[in-house]
Amino acid sequence: MSAWQDAQVDPRSITYVEAHGTGTVLGDPIEVRALTNAFRRHTPDRQFCGLGSVKPNIGHLVGASGMASLLKVILMIEHGEFVPSVNIDDPNAFIDFVGSPAYVCDRTTAWTPDPGGVRRAGVNSFGFSGTNAHVVLEQPPAQAAVEDGRAAYIFTVSAKTPDLLRRLIHATATRLATAVAPALSALSFTSTVGRGHYEHRVAIRAATITELVAALRALADEVPEGGPVPAGVWRGECRVVSERKQVISSGELTETTRRQLSARADLAVTAALAAPSGDGLDAVCELYVAGADVPWSRLFDGIPVRTAALPVYPFDPAPWWYRGEAMEPDSGAPLEEPAAAPRLGALLGARALSSPDIDYFTAGLSSAHDWILTDHVILGQHIVPGTTYVELALEVAREYWPGPVTLRDMAYAEPFVVEADSSCSIQIAATRTTLGLDLLFTSFADGRWHRHAECTVSPGAGPTESRDLDGLRAGLDGAGAPCFDLEPRESVIALGARWANEQIVAAADRTAIVRLDLAEPMRADLVGAVFHVAMFDNAVNAISQKVGEGLYLPYFYREIQCLAPMPPSFHSIISVRPGPEDGDLETITFDVDLVAPDGQVFARVRDYSIKRVDDRSAAAIRRSGGVPHTTGSPRCRPTPLPMRRPNLSGTSCCSAAALRRRSPWPTNSPSSTPASASSRRRRGRPAGRSGPRWAQPSAQR
């Protein structure tokens, strides 16, 4: 009754109710009795309201059942027919249909509108928690076609492949030829403003619906790919390619060219609006099929247009048939590596197993011999550096793509703590996807699998760029005091000679410039490597222990673009991301550019987050004494389950809860940011510093 009052409708005008329909002896009589009592407050009439339920037809959709009922009634109103509820043979003996306002719709009949020409219905939907809803639906009023007197309009069709483009053109031509066509302005508005624009494009300038349908039919039935098109029709392909590509083929354009075309399209739209005869539309069509982003909405400023019912983007089915049985090991079965298998990189061992969907790689480390562990001790324990997983991901990617690659969503879970004078094995599961690879880094110990990190990797990276380091330093001279300390701090991180390669050469406000130089005797580490683990660690973490209070460890990389291998000497530009003025600095986020000696950026890091280790987690690491790991054959889990990305926003999520359960790494905080000068003063830090600060090299962060 509240819904009727809110809708301000006469209940007697409601001629159909879609029942929730529990299908039970008790529930259905209660629902019909409630409807009868509500109607009796307004009318004594009987059997004027059809009653049905979609559940006998399609089953119970649980949480989506209310939406199914709503869509059913919308379609009934559109087609003007009552549809039957199937499988109703005997009426419920506890329902008095004779004396009720409702009757059961058991056959397809015409839905006669009320004297006002309106079909009106109600929809019931009841939730398990006691949330009950009733919605009143009404046939929309007929819309008169509104035109602005223009001579012609532009109609566009676009798809990602030529085949899908032909299918969409054919479906659109069929719809317009068989249905009552709306105003041409509505068709133009829907196709240009209300649809996506992809690589394969068609633009049609039409003055009438008949002219539009004729052009669509000609394109769908007669014109082959690359062949001539009818008058008033433009067709083109516009695929954006890298700025570095030397030869631009037909149908390709760079981002710079696309922006130039878009600027010309904006001027063409202005000219078209000033020429009501429609002559200016041709230039807009030509620029559109060439790849321009056209400001379509400007063509309809001041016109009371509506959207039209046009076919949506066609479904593109892809077969994923099972390709036969594969011999895969059990969850805990060891994989036998080929004898004397050659290493694939500085860290990456052999490809232990290949399958149609997943490849498995291994990487062995020793806390007695490998500098990655001997030179990296946190809280007295040998811990695999977080940048090790970045380097392993890049070495795996090199096995699939030779050029630049992009790592995304590198999330850390359980730290890899290794006992002194022992060996360990990291297993990398590389799952093929349509975009690249999903990588999962695990190890096997104590009869179970340990997850350490995961990420995705795909070929290609952003465009190359250069950075003017001298100009950046000059700009820092006039900036404010840095938001981090430069004085040495006591640290629980003990780093060896491989990490003694950094020097902060300039710092101000939220930016630091760090010079990194690998000593000559250690440059052999770069053989077979993409990034040097220690140098990349310093490049992204040079100020990570200088911003907040306490110990911070890697938590999440949103994106790492690798454009070229790391040289033995380079500069790192670290920017602290801004945030709340007085955050508790549970998490800190950075952007980093790595610049080669010639000024070219060879790597970009975006949204790199570190997280503070709480006292309980630190104590757990101290007590662990290392996680015992087998030193024999590596083990493999055939189908590793992917982890979800960590939530840095402070809201609870399944992945964050899982990390809290599994990991001594800190995982339970909202995101926070570096403190301001005022907060540093409250924390007892020096304040009032001006200009950049200069520091000497440090072996510890």
Q: Please state the rounded mean pLDDT for residues 240-256.
A: 86
- Does 629 reside within a domain? no
% residues pLDDT > 90 (the chain): 44
Are residues 122 and 181 both part of a single domain?
A: no
Residue 271, CA distances (Å) to 127, 220, 352, 653 in order: 56, 31, 64, 52
Which among 65, 70, 66, 82 is positioned nearest to 119, based on CA atoms? 82
| φ and ψ of 299, to 5 deg | -70, -15
Are residues 14 and 62 both part of a single domain?
A: yes
| 212 pLDDT tier (thresholds 50, 70, 90) | very high
Are residues 44 and 169 both part of a single domain?
A: no
Answer with the one of 243, 276, 300 that is the final residue of a domain. Answer: 300
- Specify which of 120-129, 145-154, 588-597 reaches the highest per-range mean pLDDT: 588-597
- Does 13 reside within a domain? yes
**Residue located via tokens 């093929």:** 432
- 632: pLDDT strictly greater than 90: no
Are residues 25 and 126 both part of a single domain?
A: yes
Instruction: Give this prediction's pTM.
Output: 0.46
| pLDDT at residue 89, as a whole number | 79
- Tens-digit pLDDT profile for residues 634-688: 333 333 434 434 433 333 333 333 333 334 343 333 333 333 333 333 333 333 3
Q: Is 293 helix (H, G, I), strand (E, B) or coil?
A: coil
Q: Please state the rounded mean pLDDT for residues 246-250.
A: 84
**Lowest-confidence segment of 127-131, 316-320, 616-620, 660-664 by average pLDDT:** 660-664
- Does 646 reside within a domain? no
| pLDDT at residue 179, as a whole number | 74
Exposure letters 552-562 (e unless 16+ CB within 10 A, then b): bbbbbbbbbbb
Q: Is 561 helix (H, G, I), strand (E, B) or coil?
A: strand
| pLDDT at residue 600, as a whole number | 95
Are residues 102 and 175 both part of a single domain?
A: no
Range of the domain at 251: 153-300
Contact by Cβ (8 Å): 151, 139: no
CA geometry: angle 660, 665, 671, nearest 5 deg? 80
Are residues 160 and 129 both part of a single domain?
A: no
153: Cα separation from own chain's centroid: 36
**What type of residue sits at position 334?**
P
| 117 pLDDT tier (thresholds 50, 70, 90) | confident
- Does 550 reside within a domain? no
| pLDDT at residue 456, as a whole number | 96
CA geometry: angle 320, 323, 329, nearest 5 deg? 120
Measured over all CA atoms, what is the biggest interatomic distance in the chain, rounded to whole angstroms? 99
- Tens-digit pLDDT profile for residues 555-604: 899 999 999 999 999 999 999 887 555 456 788 899 999 999 999 999 99
- 630: pLDDT strictly greater than 90: no
| pLDDT at residue 367, as a whole number | 87
Provide CB contacts within 8 A for 126, sequence distance 6+: 20, 22, 132, 133
| 149 pLDDT tier (thresholds 50, 70, 90) | low
- 693: pLDDT strictly greater than 70: no
Are residues 126 and 163 both part of a single domain?
A: no
Q: Which residue has the higher pLDDT, 325 or 123?
A: 123
| φ and ψ of 468, to 5 deg | -90, 95
| pLDDT at residue 90, as a whole number | 83
Phi-psi region of 444 (alpha: psi -120 to 50; beta: other; left: phi over 0): beta
By the 10 Å C-beta count (0-12 exposed, 13-18 middle, 19+ buried), 570 is classed as: buried
| pLDDT at residue 583, as a whole number | 52
Are residues 65 and 121 both part of a single domain?
A: yes
- Does 539 reside within a domain? no
Are residues 198 and 221 both part of a single domain?
A: yes
- Does 423 reside within a domain? no
**Lowest-confidence segment of 211-215, 506-510, 567-571 by average pLDDT:** 506-510
With the CA atoms of 516, 521, 526 and 532 taken in that order, what torsion angle do they form, in degrees rounded to the nearest 10?
Answer: -40
Q: Is 267 helix (H, G, I), strand (E, B) or coil?
A: helix
- Does 494 reside within a domain? no
Are residues 228 and 121 both part of a single domain?
A: no
| pLDDT at residue 683, as a whole number | 35
Are residues 45 and 170 both part of a single domain?
A: no
Which among 589, 598, 549 is positioned nearest to 569, based on CA atoms? 598
| pLDDT at residue 108, as a whole number | 94
- Tens-digit pLDDT profile for residues 277-299: 667 899 999 999 999 999 999 99
Total of domains in the chain: 2
Q: Which residue has the higher pLDDT, 88 or 229?
A: 88
Q: Please state the rounded mean pLDDT for residues 40-55.
A: 93
| pLDDT at residue 510, as a whole number | 83
- Does 560 reside within a domain? no
State the distance between the two ends of the chain, measured CA to CA, in whole angstroms. Answer: 69
| pLDDT at residue 145, as a whole number | 56
| pLDDT at residue 248, as a whole number | 84
> CATH code at 267?
3.30.70.3290
| 129 pLDDT tier (thresholds 50, 70, 90) | confident
> CATH code at 48?
3.40.47.10
| 473 pLDDT tier (thresholds 50, 70, 90) | confident
Q: Please state the rounded mean pLDDT for residues 534-541.
A: 93
- Tens-digit pLDDT profile for residues 369-421: 889 998 888 878 889 999 999 999 999 999 999 899 999 999 998 889 888 88
**Mean pLDDT score across all residues of the chain:** 81
| pLDDT at residue 654, as a whole number | 34
**Residue located via tokens 């795996």:** 396
Answer with the one of 300, 327, 356 that is the final residue of a domain. Answer: 300
- Tens-digit pLDDT profile for residues 488-502: 666 777 888 899 988
| pLDDT at residue 379, as a whole number | 79
| 437 pLDDT tier (thresholds 50, 70, 90) | very high
Answer with the one of 300, 332, 359 that is the final residue of a domain. Answer: 300
Are residues 203 and 132 both part of a single domain?
A: no
- 463: pLDDT strictly greater than 90: no
